[in-house]
Structure 1
Amino acid sequence: MLSHISVQISIFSRRPAGISDDPSFGMPLLHTWSLAVEEQYYLIWPMIMLLAFHFSGTRHTEGFMRRRALWVLGAMFATSLALSIGTTKDHQSFAFFLLPARIWEFAIGGMVGLAGSIFYARLRRWAEVLAVAGLALIAYSVVALDHSTPFPGWAAIFPVLGTVFLIAGMTADEDGVVRRMLSFKPMVFIGLLSYSWYLWHWPLLSLYRIYNLGFQDVAANAVIIVLALVLAWLTYVLIENPIRIRRPGPFRSVRPTLFAGLGIALLTVSMGSGLKAWRDYQKTLEVNQPIVKARNDYAPLRGTCVFNANKPLGELPFEKCIHGSGKGVPKVLLWGDSHADHVMPALIEAYPDVAVYQLTMAGCPPVIGFELKIPPVSKFCTEFNRQVLLKIDELKKDGLTGVVISARWPIYLWRRAIAVAEEKPSLAGDPQKMAQARIEMQSSFDETLTMLERAGLRVLVLAPNPEMIYSPPLCIGMRRGEHCNVPRSIIEALVNDPTETLAEVVSRHSNVRLAQVMEFFCDAIASCDPHPLRRGTSCRWP
């Protein structure tokens, strides 16, 4: 049962939290994935070694077994590291959360443990250099690696190798300076509490961030870290040490200990099931129905007609991305990024008798020749836009009359997003970046509109949507007040310049109109009428 739980934890941890949300936001037990992966390794390692020894004859000396284990660990290390590096870029959740791409870290730790005294005796003259290099690599990892670093992959080698060097150096020379430094009582004290500290710190940080609607408060986080250390000390004194040393009550012998562990596991599962049942019950209450519906309210064609900018394109879908009467002959094409997908329900509601064809790609502005420089890089955006233009030429012959263009324009122009739970590029808001992006965007967008004008198509460009600081359903569910509103001045600071950028280009084309969509919203508040807006932090049709 415990192994099943560990597998489920690691698989559940891979689920993305949302399109624009911090994946860790709202997951207080996310850190248990590492424990799950560790337990899975402990389950498979004995079986791997039994198989390795089974096919190697009957004479198993200690030296032979050590060498065989090192060979097996080395093979696991090389294979898993290659898998980690190969999958981090395009399948980061797999590379980060699941055992096959992380087992190399356990394997190299096992190799360090099995290296033997002769090996470390040979390293003695280099011991201090290795230990210092290990500390340097660990320090570098702490400072240099951040949320924008593709991880694990190549980046994980630095902290892992640093740990290997540090352990090897301190093992080879027990009287070295680094070992003596790390043997100071405060350092040992932190080491003794580190496991409990790890278990406490993330739930506390995550729960506070949920309460704070995703906002990161550095001062509060520092207080929480200290609180987690205090709780770790209490756990160590009141739970860990008594069980490990005095072995009270059911922990006096092996069998009662196993039954006690099973009972604790069953209690934990029961508590989790009870909390889930309570959450499901809350969803059924009439007062919460608008919020529940808003959290699960997606545009109808999102799963089919919003492409991933980092996955290779096939042939563009046709009939399944058309809504309205006369499905075979679309009259209007909706072209843009995932924000254009938000527009589709409004078009369906406003023009039920008009066939509207949706072609959208997340993170890809509908602008020919505009090179996207904001991470994550959209590898297939250029190819997608090229295919859309070819499709427009094809559809024009069959009766296509207009194109609706929509995108999250401020982000492509290096404006800094206001949503608290959204990752922001470090250079977002830089005046030089914004000025350069404005020039490039206007030039490329002018070329795009010229192509559509030559095709004889009418074009409607939607100006930027207002955006929210907090996720409206989450904020309304937890605050239910004016706290969720966003002053119009903040919205205008975000969208006014991008709107002017678009307006200057639109004014050069007689067949193009710019729609100021911001005026249709309730002064950018999170609840209108009083139905909350759809999931996410961008205002959309209520």
Structure 2
Amino acid sequence: MSTTIATPNETEKKAGFRSDLQGLRALAVLLVMLYHIWFSRVSGGVDIFLMLSAYFLTASTAKRISRGERPKVLGAWAHRFSRLVPQAAVVIVSIIAASWLLLPSNKWPALIDQSFASLLYKQNWYLAANQVDYYNFDHSSSSPLQHFWSLSVQGQIFIIWPLVLAFCAVVWKLFFSKINFSWVAGAAFAIIFAGSLSYSIQITASNQQIAYYHTGARLWEFALGSLVALAMPLFEKLPQMLRRFGGWAGLATVVSCGALMDVQGQFPGYMALVPTVGAALIIAAPAPRRWANPAGILSVAPLTKLGDLSYGMYLWHWPLLVFYLGLSGNAEAGFLAGSVLIAVSIALAWCSTNLVEKPLAQWQSTVDFGGFPVGRQAQLVGGLLVLVIGVGAASIPALAWEGKVEYRRTVAATQSATENPGATAPKDWDPSPAALTLPLATDLEGEWQTPGEGCSGENSPDDERIIFCSQGGDFAPGKPVLLLLGDSHIQHWSDAASKMMENSGGSWIMVYHPGCRYGSDAARDVQECADFQDAAQEYVARIAPTWVMATGSMTAASYDEDGRSPGEQEYLVDNFDESIQPFLEAGSKVIAVRDTPRYEYSIPECADSKKSDTTRCDRAASERLNAVNPVDEWLDSKDYGSKVISLDLTELLCPEGTCKAVIGNVLTYLDDTHLSKTFVDSAADEFEAAFRRATGYKGHSSEG
């Protein structure tokens, strides 16, 4: 008996396998890795990867339907996800373990939520809801699970696409059985393509951050892959020279897309057509592995072997990069570090592919549960079992992590008030070693100060340029009114200010806009801030409160390029005197508050990493603040009398010349620049005393 050994091309032709597309898949993932690690740009590789997944799914399913097979939706789901989940579960468990051990606890709640979101294929919606900026190329502050957004979109499509194909099969059988199934499915995917692309262009223009993660804005990329799969018989009828030229043009486009195009803020939209159409031209090119064809390059052994590992490479490279940058303190990876990250990603991908995914896939294809069920049913049951094991294996550590966070919250809730006196702690006070510092770093979201309720009645702004307005207390005629005006640095005193006014029988109003320092001409470069300042000035002059309290100086977080310390950079808000004039003319007094110190690092993260000695997070007041309060210096040169008052609360935060991260076992800040609600609440009496000293306020129903 003679044996004929098939050539590679013959084998591929019989199996329908195209090694060049395996190479294209590897190229797409390599581009993603290279651009993430070294170039801080979007490459278009993810878009190609998404398109290819729909191409393969549609090509295989459409062939079976055309042969008369009934589409098996449940089987398609089990088949796809039983191959995706095992590696994803391994990576998620690894990220959970590394994050638990290495990352500060203030990042834990979000990562716990993202662990479940990634495992359940809804990470893209989590990131969209939380307005995560994919184009923020400071990867050291990114989530190690952020890259699961694209896998979530892909997973959602893997649920939708079998249903679409099954629907097309029913329509074809009932109404169009005399024509090729590809025409029916092609019409459906053409409608999806046109609708999704139109929506993608619209939402990318109006809200790009949402668009990037939105499944609806990505459907067209998958539809394009499906259309290419269905149109392959038509492409094969075109002249080979034309297809070959298109393939080379497509390959050049795919490789150069990220380098030549500035896609920031423009993806997905119509710009994503560039890499995906480039990939479509490669797919439509002649497949034989000759050097005259793009397939000759894409079918080289290194690329095809990496194609087998491409899914794992994508899964591993991002968390490795994020952990490296976060732990090293580097803003980017150099050539050597980046090369090591790529090599380690490939090595881990080999392990997770060959030691996890493939053994489970092989077991699933040969499983026999004692003869019942058998055949395809056994494979279906095996696939579902793989899914249950994978999801369960990743869920257990995530639930344990979540349990750890809840346990700390329970312990913190049982602590007595004497364990966390904050600003009221005596100088010689020493906390119990077992007492937890409050607020817990896992609970910082609740540390923003938003006292009172929305402004109403005569206090309602009735101006859409003022977004945030709140009030509280007794607004009876003749009683004092304190109006807090500015940005988040006036907001972070609001708990103490509101408590003081309400306890003394007066009232308060807070009008603020995050990131918009009142009186600053520099801040007016942002139109929204300029609009707020104009509207707020009119509003406050109309209300004519007893006092207008605004931040009068501006602090800095780090040394500048000239080597000046943050303290040397503190200055009076550039147009403060002119901006407060309408208030003085309306009869109000102005309280100019000195800005609070800023830091180049997160106070909670620093304190969490230096639990044994949080004083290492402290800084000298002389480094953080100017030697002379800019407000005092300014007032010395003016003749406002008692109409403009300086309020310097530095001593609360920087006792005895040291700006402290923890006071009385309480975190002073919730991040690098904003005071924590817990600390401000503890300092309410000290705030009131300082306010009364500065203003002469006695708590009567008239002005201070």
With the length of structure 2 as denominator, give the TM-score of the two structures. 0.60
> How far, CA to CA, are the matches of 2:597 and 2:448 in structure 1?
18
Q: How does 1:334-413 map onto structure 2 within 5 Å?
A: 334-351=484-501, 352-353=503-504, 354-367=506-519, 372-373=524-525, 378-396=526-544, 400-406=545-551, 409=554
What residue in structure 2 maps to residue 271 of structure 1? 397
CA drift at 1:74 = 2.4
Q: Residues 81, 475 of structure 1: CA spacing in aligned structure 2 closer, same or farther, 3 A cutoff?
A: farther
Check the 8 A contact 1:404/1:459 in 2, yes or no: yes
Check the 8 A contact 1:336/1:361 in 2, yes or no: yes
Which one-letter code corresponds to 1:478 in the other structure? S
What are the Cα deviations for residues 514-542 of structure 1, in whole angstroms up to 9, with x where unaligned?
Answer: 54555542233322233112322115263
CA drift at 1:483 = 7.8
What residue in structure 2 maps to residue 292 of structure 1? 440
What residue in structure 2 maps to residue 227 of structure 1? 344
The DSSP-based 3-state class of the residue aligned with 2:447 is coil
> How far, CA to CA, are the matches of 2:274 and 2:260 in structure 1?
12
CA drift at 1:278 = 2.5
What residue in structure 1 maps to residue 471 of structure 2? 322
> How far, CA to CA, are the matches of 1:175 and 1:241 in structure 2?
32
CA drift at 1:395 = 0.8
Q: How does 1:526-541 map onto structure 2 within 5 Å?
A: 526-540=661-675
> How far, CA to CA, are the matches of 1:349 and 1:244 in structure 2?
63
Gaps of 5+ in 1: 307-311, 420-427, 432-437
CA drift at 1:55 = 5.2
Check the 8 A contact 1:149/1:155 in 2, yes or no: no
Check the 8 A contact 1:333/1:404 in 2, yes or no: yes
CA drift at 1:121 = 4.5
What residue in structure 2 maps to residue 281 of structure 1? 407
The DSSP-based 3-state class of the residue aligned with 2:597 is coil
Check the 8 A contact 2:122/2:149 in 1, yes or no: no
Which one-letter code corresponds to 1:194 in the other structure? S
The worse-fitting range, judged by mean Cα deviation, of 231-240 and 505-514 is: 505-514
CA drift at 1:18 = 9.0
What residue in structure 2 maps to residue 37 of structure 1? 153
**What RMSD, in angstroms, separates the aligned Cα atoms of the two structures?**
4.6
Check the 8 A contact 2:172/2:181 in 1, yes or no: no
Q: Residues 164, 497 of structure 1: CA spacing in aligned structure 2 closer, same or farther, 3 A cutoff?
A: farther
Number of aligned residue pairs: give it: 505
Check the 8 A contact 1:135/1:166 in 2, yes or no: no
With the length of structure 1 as denominator, give the TM-score of the two structures. 0.76
Q: Does 1:131 align with 2:280?
A: no
Check the 8 A contact 2:243/2:284 in 1, yes or no: no
CA drift at 1:57 = 7.0
Which one-letter code corresponds to 1:536 in the other structure? D
CA drift at 1:455 = 2.8
Check the 8 A contact 2:488/2:674 in 1, yes or no: no
Check the 8 A contact 1:305/1:359 in 2, yes or no: no
What are the Cα deviations for residues 426-468 of structure 1, in whole angstroms up to 9, with x where unaligned?
Answer: xx9799xxxxxx99973x5454233333333322233432122
Q: Residues 278, 26 of structure 1: CA spacing in aligned structure 2 closer, same or farther, 3 A cutoff?
A: farther
Larger Rg: 1 or 2? 2
The DSSP-based 3-state class of the residue aligned with 1:356 is strand
The DSSP-based 3-state class of the residue aligned with 2:174 is coil
* 103, 125, 137: which one aligns with 1:11: 125
CA drift at 1:367 = 3.1
Check the 8 A contact 1:27/1:206 in 2, yes or no: yes
CA drift at 1:175 = 4.4
CA drift at 1:372 = 4.0
Which one-letter code corresponds to 1:12 in the other structure? Y
CA drift at 1:195 = 0.7
Check the 8 A contact 2:594/2:647 in 1, yes or no: yes
> How far, CA to CA, are the matches of 1:285 and 1:330 in structure 2?
42
CA drift at 1:357 = 0.7
Check the 8 A contact 1:485/1:524 in 2, yes or no: no
* 343, 356, 367: which one aligns with 1:239: 356
Check the 8 A contact 1:73/1:107 in 2, yes or no: yes
The DSSP-based 3-state class of the residue aligned with 1:335 is strand
Q: Residues 50, 534 of structure 1: CA spacing in aligned structure 2 closer, same or farther, 3 A cutoff?
A: same
Which one-letter code corresponds to 1:265 in the other structure? V
What residue in structure 1 maps to residue 197 of structure 2? 81
> How far, CA to CA, are the matches of 2:664 and 2:409 in structure 1?
21
Q: Residues 208, 122 of structure 1: CA spacing in aligned structure 2 closer, same or farther, 3 A cutoff?
A: same
> How far, CA to CA, are the matches of 1:91 and 1:490 in structure 2?
43
> How far, CA to CA, are the matches of 1:90 and 1:388 in structure 2?
27
Check the 8 A contact 2:546/2:589 in 1, yes or no: yes
> How far, CA to CA, are the matches of 1:278 and 1:368 in structure 2?
45
Q: Residues 39, 175 of structure 1: CA spacing in aligned structure 2 closer, same or farther, 3 A cutoff?
A: same
Check the 8 A contact 2:653/2:668 in 1, yes or no: no
Q: Residues 449, 390 of structure 1: CA spacing in aligned structure 2 closer, same or farther, 3 A cutoff?
A: closer
What are the Cα deviations for residues 163-218 of structure 1, in whole angstroms up to 9, with x where unaligned?
Answer: 34444457699644643333333333332222111112233344556656x76462
Check the 8 A contact 2:244/2:293 in 1, yes or no: no
> How far, CA to CA, are the matches of 1:179 and 1:17 in structure 2?
40
What residue in structure 1 maps to residue 181 of structure 2? 65
Check the 8 A contact 1:76/1:107 in 2, yes or no: yes
> How far, CA to CA, are the matches of 2:636 and 2:186 in structure 1?
67
What residue in structure 1 maps to residue 72 of structure 2? none
CA drift at 1:88 = 3.7
Which one-letter code corresponds to 1:263 in the other structure? I
Q: Does 1:485 align with 2:485?
A: no
CA drift at 1:92 = 4.5
Q: Residues 518, 127 of structure 1: CA spacing in aligned structure 2 closer, same or farther, 3 A cutoff?
A: farther
> How far, CA to CA, are the matches of 2:548 and 2:137 in structure 1?
30
Q: Residues 140, 279 of structure 1: CA spacing in aligned structure 2 closer, same or farther, 3 A cutoff?
A: same
What residue in structure 2 maps to residue 109 of structure 1? 225
CA drift at 1:366 = 1.9
The DSSP-based 3-state class of the residue aligned with 1:74 is helix
Which one-letter code corresponds to 1:256 in the other structure? G
What are the Cα deviations for residues 304-354 of structure 1, in whole angstroms up to 9, with x where unaligned?
Answer: 769xxxxx9648589x71134437876222111223211212323554424
Check the 8 A contact 1:170/1:176 in 2, yes or no: no
Q: How does 1:461-540 map onto structure 2 within 5 Å?
A: 461-480=592-611, 481-482=613-614, 485=617, 487-488=619-620, 492=624, 507=637, 510=640, 511-518=643-650, 520-522=652-654, 523-540=658-675
Identical counterparts, % of pairs: 21
Gaps of 5+ in 2: 1-76, 82-116, 369-374, 413-434, 456-461, 564-569, 680-704
The DSSP-based 3-state class of the residue aligned with 1:100 is coil
> How far, CA to CA, are the matches of 1:215 and 1:283 in structure 2?
33
The DSSP-based 3-state class of the residue aligned with 2:317 is helix
